[in-house]
Amino acid sequence: MASEEAVNMRVADFLHMKGGNEKSSYANNSCTQEITIRNVQPLIKKIIKGIANLDGFPQCFNIADLGCSTGPNTLLAVSNIINEVQEVCKEKNLETPQFQVYLNDLFGNDFNSIFKSLPMFYAELNKEQGVDFDSCFISAVPGSFHGRLFPDKSIHLFHSANSLHWLSQVPKGIENNGLNVYLAKTSPPNVFEMYRIQFEKDFTTFLESRSKEIIDGGHMVLALGGRSDIDPSSNGRSCLWELFAKSLADMAKEGLVRESDIQSFNVPMYNPCEDEVRGLIHKQGSFNLDTLESFETNWDPNDTNFANVKDSEEPNFGKRVAKKVRAAAEPMLVTYFGHSAMDLAFQKFGKYMDEHLSTEIIEIFVLVISLTKI
């Protein structure tokens, strides 16, 4: 697609993970995101216990997973929540509720793959927890969480992992970002400001929408990509996109992509720091902020000591990172640069990642938030 057409498209029209079950799919390259879901589990456990101690569970417990994506992580989050409810009900001799689960993502998400995996999911749930199809009802709710998705006061628990750092649109007024495709060290000051403003608008709209949809006293658990430094260009994702922009610039010099296409493309993502998130929650005013924590994780959970970076004579860590990025970003990038550019772009990107990681490690910084509706 020509970049002119791409610029005029809404992010919701093209932002989704790479579907299917091929080797390059998101389903087979999302182990990093799985770490986030598992790290949030203790917080889920605490919230479920709190609900049980306070009023117990309603006859039907309504759960919404926002930005569910596709692959094993989608139903992992749901399974974790249901398991915690089951455990606490057994412990306190409470009647186990029915579960209404809503899986939300944008319209291009591969919901069909999720539906095909449901029979196996129900079988596992029945085997492990005794929950059968008559007790757990799963539905898809396509649409943007930057607006309304559910009726008033209908949801008891919202969950979202690895999604809220995505923006509803590319910030306006950043045409002077040059060959940068994100917040880079060489980006002009106004680019940083416009990204911040867009995130502030989107996150506030998200909170306002959920405040209408959640019951009084209901809970939200959110995990999103953030940053530890006040400088927006300091986080690992900024470094990653700088290297990808370098790959595209090489291809422009070789006549394989147009420089104008690179200039028209900017990643619709923002990684906030803790103070930004805390300030927006307090300003919006519908929720008590119960928890705001953070953790860092490696791009490859199986290589926690970065052995492939430091010790291998044939470095391949960067190439594995490139595969993960491709699974998450290829549908978006194809919109601007076309399918034919993808193989070479990610080949170059993988080499640049290997070179960079031989001297400096890139970690992912994640913010974890729990909120209670006032």
Domains annotated for the chain, with CATH where assigned, are 3-373 (3.40.50.150)
- Pairing between β-strand 363-373 and β-strand 287-298 as defined by DSSP bridges: antiparallel
- Integer Cα distance of 240 and 353 in angstroms: 8
Identify the helix (H) or strand (E) that includes residue 63: strand 60-66
- Beta strands 155-161 and 214-225: pairing type? parallel
How many angstroms separate the CA atoms of 167 and 200, rounded?
10
pLDDT at residue 94 in the model:
92
pTM, 2 dp: 0.88
Report the pLDDT value the prediction gives residue 306, as an integer from 0 to 100: 45
Q: How far is CA 40 from CA 44, 64, 77, 158, in A?
A: 6, 16, 9, 13
Largest CA distance in the chain: 69
CA–CA gap between residue 298 and residue 310 (Å, rounded)? 14
pLDDT in the model for residue 120: 87
**Residue ranges, the chain, pLDDT below 70:** 1-33, 129-133, 235, 299-316
Of 361, 238, 232, 220, give the one whose Cα is nearest residue 297: 361
Which are the contacts of 291, defined by CB distance < 8 A and separation ≥ 6? 43, 368, 369, 370
Is residue 297 within 8 Å of residue 261, measured between CB atoms? no
Query: What SS3 string covers 203-241?
Result: HHHHHHHHHHHEEEEEEEEEEEECCCCCCHHHCHHHHHH
SS3 271: coil
Are 308 and 300 in contact by the 8 Å Cβ rule? The answer is yes
The residue to which tokens 């095909």 are assigned: 116
Helix (H) or strand (E) holding 207: helix 189-213
Is 218 in contact with 373 (CB distance < 8 Å)? yes
- List the 60-66 sheet strands across, edge first: 136-142, 98-105, 60-66, 155-161, 214-225, 363-373, 287-298
